[in-house]
Every structure is written in structure tokens, then in C-alpha cells.
């Protein structure tokens, strides 16, 4: 069973514990800015958990996953722009949009394998990126300010309260990890992992792997879209940049850095990635010159990511 004292699990407990207490800890230490940093970490962590579902467990390397952040975000932004702020309309629309688009994109890109899949997911995502850039009504390049956060319509629970916003994000993060745990250990997850290691064999025993992959692709798209709608709400701003292709690259990196195919790896990855960029960018504006080679070194020498390094004897499949 689960060994709670393994280094990887201790790290997980530290990271999740930090997320839980930062709204109290950071102001007490005189660094209230870190509440914002941690909210961002958690939002990216949700997106990374969703990518890990298809990339880590399913072997589908989507290089356009950030597009769902954009779709979820723009659904909120555009509805708010037209004066619709109710959660009960905004969130179902955002989730529905992500489901429909990930279904279409998945149906197209899953017809291909390997490097074709990488390039097609990238190209399809860029298509929507350029669409958002050309949408002059919604701010084009400059993005769209969101005047009011999603409104639950009840007095005691309002996202305008930053504490409520923070713990909503925290709850969604825990829920997304829980869902991915449930999925991975279901029949569905077994088929996914089996198809990753030998697709032909799984088909030979009579399972249509295409449908399972497509289902996983849609679930991951929707989960990432939820991260996007939280991001739009939290930042009160959406812009094409949130779905530009470097964001997708960063998401992949977070997953790999933390440890692919591990439950909490993407969360750790998002945490380390964003903390590191926060620290490096406070040293120099040219922090990418350190960060780029760091990325190359992680790929070359730390294949299992942080969770892999902390779990002796394990390596990425």
C-alpha cells in the first residue's frame, strides 16, 4: 500500500500543505504577494494534472494543451463582456465549449500517431490562438478585462472575496487529482495504460482504443478548461497569450519536471517551475538564458522528473 514516508510522498505533503496554509502564512511572514503566486501555481497544477492524464498515462503528447486554458478563459471573458456573470451559465458554457472543441480536435488528431500527433495538436491550438488574435471585438492582442468574477448568486459565497477564490482553486485542484486517481485505477485507466504500452495488442483483445483515447482527450480538455475559467476569474483578464504555444510547452515541462505518470508529479512540477521562474526573474530579466539550458539538462539527466529522482529504482516508462 501507500508508503507515506517515501521521499516523494513527503514532498507531496509539503507542497499541498503549503498550498493549504499560504493565505495565512504569507501575510504573517510579510510576503502577501506569495498568495497570488500560489494561486497561480495551483491553477497551472490543475492544467498540468489534466495533461498528465493523456500524456503520462495515455502516451498522447499534446503540444496544444494550453488552448483549453484559453477556451475556458475566453468563455468567461466573452460572457462577462456581454454582461452574463452567473456561474450557472458561465461555467457550463465554458465546460461545454471545451468538451466540444476537444472532441473535434481529438477526433482529428487521434487519427495520427507520434510526431504527427504532436504537430497537429500544436497547429490546431495555434489556429484558435490566431482566431483570438483576430477577434477585434474582444480585444485582439491586448486581451479582455473581466470586470466581475463569476457570480454564484448567494450571499455567503462570493469569488470577489480573495480568500474564497483561493480556496475554490485549492478545492478544484484536490478534486482534479482525486478524479485522475479514480480514472487511472478504473477499467478506463487500465485500458489507457495498456494502449500506451501496446496499442495493437489491446485492439486484438477487442477494445476500441480510439474511443478510450478520445474520451481521455475530452476529459483532459475539460479539466484544463476548468483551470482556464479559474485563471480568467482569478486574474480578471484573458488574452491570446494564455493559449499561445509556449504555454503548451511549459505545461509539458511542468509534467515532465514533476514526474510523468505520477499522481502528484504535475503538482510538484508546476510548483517548482513557477517558483523557479519567480526567483530567476527577480534576479535578471534575461532569466530565460538560464532557464532554457536548465530545461535541456532536466531532459538529458533527470528523465523521471523530481518524483522519479525521489523514488529509487523507478524510471519513466
**Binding to other proteins in span 106-145, by CB under 8 A:** 108, 111-112, 114-116, 118-120, 122-124, 126-127, 130-131, 133-135, 137
The enclosing H or E element of 307 equals helix 305-310
2 sits in the region (left: phi over 0; alpha: psi -120 to 50; else beta) called: beta
Judged by CB under 8 A, the residue of 84, 291, 302, 309 near other proteins is: 291
What is the distance of C-alpha 119 from the center of its chain?
19
Give least dist CB 222 to other proteins, A: 21
Q: Which stretch binds other proteins (CB under 8 A): 6-14, 80-88, 152-160, 287-295?
A: 287-295
Q: Under the criterion CB under 8 A, does residue 299 sit at the interface with other proteins? A: yes
Distance CA 287, CA 137 (A): 35
Give me 155's grid cell: 450571499
* Nearer residue to other proteins within complex by CB, 154 or 300: 300
In whole angstroms, how close is the CB of 134 to other proteins at the nearest point?
A: 5
CB of 51 or CB of 76, closer to other proteins: 51
CB of 98 to other proteins, least distance (A): 18
Task: Please select the residue that binds other proteins; options are 34, 38, 57, 63, rule is CB under 8 A.
Answer: 63
Interface with other proteins, residue 61, by CB under 8 A: yes
Q: Which is nearer to other proteins, 5 or 82 (CB)?
A: 82
Sign of CA dihedral 105, 108, 114, 116: negative
Residues 25-61, buried b or exposed e (16+ Cβ, 10 A)? ebeeeeeeebbebbbbbbbbbbbbbbbbbbbbbbbbe
Containing 144, the helix (H) or strand (E) segment is: strand 144-145
* Contact call for residues 307 and 265 (beta carbons, < 8 A): yes
**Backbone region of residue 114 per phi and psi (left: phi > 0; alpha: psi in -120 to 50; beta: other values):** left
- Helices 33-55 and 245-258: crossing angle, nearest 10°? 80
| Residue 204 binding other proteins, by CB under 8 A | no
In the bound complex, what is the minimum distance in angstroms from residue 111's beta carbon to other proteins?
5
Q: CB-wise, 62 or 311, nearer to other proteins?
A: 62
All cell numbers assigned to 48 = 498540468
Backbone region of residue 62 per phi and psi (left: phi > 0; alpha: psi in -120 to 50; beta: other values): beta
Of positions 30, 82, 296, 315, contacts other proteins by CB under 8 A: 296
Q: Which residue has the cell 487511472?
A: 184
122 or 165: whose CB is closer to other proteins? 122
Smallest gap from residue 216 Cβ to other proteins (A): 17
Given 11, 76, 165, 256, the residue binding other proteins (CB under 8 A): 256
Contact footprint for other proteins (CB under 8 A): 55, 61, 63, 108, 111-112, 114-116, 118-120, 122-124, 126-127, 130-131, 133-135, 137, 245-246, 249, 252-253, 256, 286-289, 291-296, 298-300, 303
Amino acid at each position: 500500500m501507500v508508503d507515506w514516508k517515501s521521499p516523494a510522498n513527503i514532498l507531496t505533503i509539503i507542497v499541498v500543505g503549503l498550498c493549504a496554509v499560504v493565505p495565512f502564512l504569507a501575510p504573517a511572514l510579510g510576503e502577501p504577494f506569495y498568495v497570488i503566486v500560489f494561486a497561480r501555481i495551483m491553477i497551472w497544477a490543475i492544467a498540468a494534472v489534466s495533461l498528465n492524464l493523456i500524456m503520462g498515462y495515455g502516451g498522447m503528447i499534446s503540444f496544444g494543451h494550453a488552448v483549453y486554458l484559453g477556451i475556458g478563459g475566453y468563455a468567461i471573458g466573452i460572457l462577462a463582456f456581454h454582461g452574463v456573470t452567473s456561474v450557472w451559465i458561465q461555467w457550463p458554457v465554458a465546460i461545454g465549449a471545451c468538451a466540444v472543441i476537444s472532441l473535434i480536435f481529438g477526433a482529428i488528431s487521434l487519427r495520427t500517431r507520434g510526431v504527427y500527433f504532436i504537430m497537429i495538436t500544436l497547429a490546431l491550438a495555434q489556429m484558435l490562438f490566431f482566431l483570438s488574435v483576430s477577434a477585434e471585438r474582444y480585444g485582439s492582442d491586448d486581451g479582455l478585462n473581466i470586470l466581475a468574477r463569476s457570480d454564484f448568486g448567494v450571499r455567503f459565497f462570493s469569488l470577489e472575496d480573495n480568500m474564497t477564490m483561493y480556496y475554490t482553486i485549492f478545492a478544484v485542484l484536490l478534486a482534479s487529482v482525486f478524479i485522475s486517481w479514480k480514472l487511472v485505477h478504473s477499467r478506463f485507466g487500465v485500458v489507457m495504460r495498456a494502449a500506451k504500452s501496446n496499442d495493437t495488442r489491446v485492439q486484438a483483445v477487442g477494445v476500441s482504443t480510439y474511443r478510450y483515447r478520445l474520451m481521455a482527450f475530452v476529459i483532459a480538455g475539460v479539466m484544463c478548461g476548468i483551470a482556464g475559467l479559474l485563471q480568467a476569474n482569478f486574474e480578471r483578464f484573458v488574452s491570446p497569450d494564455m493559449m499561445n504555444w509556449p504555454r503548451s510547452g511549459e505545461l509539458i515541462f511542468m509534467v515532465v519536471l514533476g514526474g510523468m505518470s505520477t499522481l502528484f508529479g504535475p503538482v510538484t512540477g508546476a510548483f517548482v517551475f513557477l517558483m523557479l521562474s519567480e526567483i530567476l526573474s527577480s534576479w535578471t530579466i534575461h532569466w530565460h538564458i538560464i532557464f532554457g539550458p536548465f530545461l535541456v539538462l532536466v531532459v538529458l539527466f533527470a528523465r523521471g522528473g523530481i518524483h522519479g529522482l525521489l523514488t529509487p529504482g523507478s524510471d519513466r516508462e
